[in-house]
């Protein structure tokens, strides 16, 4: 079982990959449980696939909130900020 964590800086113009640890930049060999925490006190973070925008997204993560997803090995989770350059904390556990 692999465990990885990272802080990812977001912006409001480009979707950023948050589901793969930045140290390896390769997909997990197995399924993974991914937790994302919005560290910002005012910006909403939007989660979805690579086509995510601030108006077309899968999930709105409010300031200070967190959520967990179980992803298949080939799945990728992206994030974009409603405004500014907030950070998200990501914890990934390969299962």
Q: What is the pLDDT of residue 23?
A: 47
Q: What is the CATH number of the domain that holds 8?
A: 2.60.120.10
CB atoms within 10 A of CB 51: 9
Q: What is the pLDDT of residue 29?
A: 66
Write the Ramachandran bin of 25: left for phi over 0, alpha for psi from -120 to 50, otherwise beta: left
Domain that holds residue 69: 3-94
Q: Which residue ranges in the chain fall short of pLDDT 50?
A: 23
d(CA 18, CA 90) in angstroms, rounded, equals 7
pTM, entire model: 0.88
As for how many domains the chain has, the answer is: 1
Q: What is the pLDDT of residue 11?
A: 97
Q: What is the pLDDT of residue 27?
A: 56
Q: What is the pLDDT of residue 24?
A: 53
CB atoms within 10 A of CB 62: 14
């Amino acid at each position: 079982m692999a465990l990885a964590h990272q802080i990812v800086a977001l912006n409001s113009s480009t979707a950023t990959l948050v589901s793969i640890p930045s140290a390896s930049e390769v997909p997990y060999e197995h399924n993974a449980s991914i937790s994302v925490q919005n560290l910002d006190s005012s910006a909403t973070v939007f989660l979805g696939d690579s086509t995510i925008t601030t108006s077309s997204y899968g999930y709105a993560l409010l300031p200070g909130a967190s959520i967990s997803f179980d992803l298949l090995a080939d799945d990728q989770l992206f994030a974009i900020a409603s405004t500014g350059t907030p950070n998200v904390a990501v914890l990934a556990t390969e299962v």
